[in-house]
């Protein structure tokens, strides 16, 4: 997929795509996500058709997933392409891509990180496994990770995925993770409870944030972290987020909103 600004803002875009083996309507499409994109580069003016199939040829030139808004006329939701079935998603984004082998390795390493939580065995038993099965599973997963070169503790620690004791931590706040968080849903504010919430307290956490042009969904770049820490870091990345947090704390101290006897922050 390619965004409308990139498609219409790139000179000789057909030639640029062709150099990468891409042809609009065959194996690449323009993906509309905002009303601004839809208004500025309306596909009807290009006489484009919405894509019909996810396999080449795509049967069209674009897909649109524009949310409704109350800020303008003609503000209804725009859903074009791939809408003949229940699966209306436009597919994975380019920055989310990972090969089958990479995904398999990521899943193995992520389970290994669960077992590296200090209370993982106790929590696994509490949630239904027998003590014997939990021990067998843990030892088996750790062995597979060692054999697959996925248990380099120095590398995991350097990536902020485990601490110096080899225990799984949140990459942002560095707190050791309680493995019950994998089974517990997020606490909700009183009066705003959603009965079918599925978000758990611990979430998948990318150390180097996902971005176009880099394959960052890979081993040693994924860990587990607190949901709130993940939300704070978002797409900014850990280093930039920590610098921003430091600035916020410093500003609150300077304005007398945070009492502290240490002014070295």
Residue 254 has pLDDT above 50, yes or no: yes
Rounded to whole angstroms, the Cα distance separating 54 from 51 reads 8
Residue 187 has pLDDT above 50, yes or no: yes
H/E element, 30: strand 30-32
- With beta carbons less than 8 A apart as the criterion, state whether 46 and 61 touch: yes
264: pLDDT confidence band, cut at 50, 70 and 90?
low
Residue 119 has pLDDT above 90, yes or no: yes
Residue 128 has pLDDT above 50, yes or no: yes
Q: What is the mean pLDDT of residues 11-33?
A: 93
Rounded to whole angstroms, the Cα distance separating 131 from 41 reads 60
Measure Cα distances from 120 to 72, 74, 167, 224, 262 in Å. Answer: 52, 53, 10, 13, 36
Torsion angle in degrees (nearest 10) through CA of 152, 158, 160, 161 = 0
Whether the CA torsion 39, 43, 44, 46 is positive or negative: it is: positive
Rounded to whole angstroms, the Cα distance separating 156 from 174 reads 13
Least confident of 40-44, 71-75, 130-134, 164-168: 71-75
Tens digit of each residue's pLDDT (9 = 90 or more) over 173-183: 999 999 999 98
Q: What is the pLDDT of residue 93?
A: 67
Tens digit of each residue's pLDDT (9 = 90 or more) over 142-156: 999 999 999 999 999
Tens digit of each residue's pLDDT (9 = 90 or more) over 193-229: 444 445 678 999 999 988 777 888 999 999 999 999 9
Residues of the chain above pLDDT 70, percent:
85
Q: What is the pLDDT of residue 188?
A: 45
24: pLDDT confidence band, cut at 50, 70 and 90?
very high
Considering the chain, what is the average pLDDT of its residues? 87
pTM for the whole thing? 0.67
Q: In DSSP terms, which residues pair with 169 in a beta bridge? A: 176
């Amino acid at each position: 997929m390619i965004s409308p600004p990139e498609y219409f803002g790139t000179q000789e875009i057909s030639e640029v795509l062709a150099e990468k083996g891409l042809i609009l309507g065959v194996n690449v499409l323009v993906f509309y996500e905002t009303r601004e994109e839809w208004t500025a580069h309306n596909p009807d003016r290009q006489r484009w058709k919405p894509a019909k199939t996810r396999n080449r040829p795509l049967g069209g030139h674009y897909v649109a997933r524009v949310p409704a808004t109350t800020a303008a006329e003609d503000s209804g939701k725009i859903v074009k392409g791939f809408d003949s079935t229940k699966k209306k998603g436009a597919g994975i984004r380019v920055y989310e891509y990972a090969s089958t082998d990479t995904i398999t390795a990521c899943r193995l390493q992520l389970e290994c990180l669960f077992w590296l939580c200090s209370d993982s065995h106790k929590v696994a038993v509490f949630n239904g496994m027998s003590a014997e099965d939990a021990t067998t599973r843990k030892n088996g997963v750790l062995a597979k990770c060692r054999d697959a070169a996925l248990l380099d503790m120095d590398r995991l620690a350097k990536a902020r995925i485990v601490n110096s004791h080899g225990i799984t931590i949140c990459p942002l706040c560095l707190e050791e993770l309680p493995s019950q968080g994998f089974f517990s849903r997020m606490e909700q504010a009183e009066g705003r409870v959603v009965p079918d919430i599925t978000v758990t307290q611990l979430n998948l956490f990318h150390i180097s944030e996902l971005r176009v042009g880099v394959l960052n969904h890979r081993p040693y770049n994924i860990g587990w972290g607190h949901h709130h820490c993940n939300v704070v870091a978002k797409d900014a990345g850990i280093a930039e987020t920590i610098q921003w947090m430091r600035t916020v704390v410093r500003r609150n101290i300077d304005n007398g909103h945070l009492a502290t006897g240490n002014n070295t922050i």
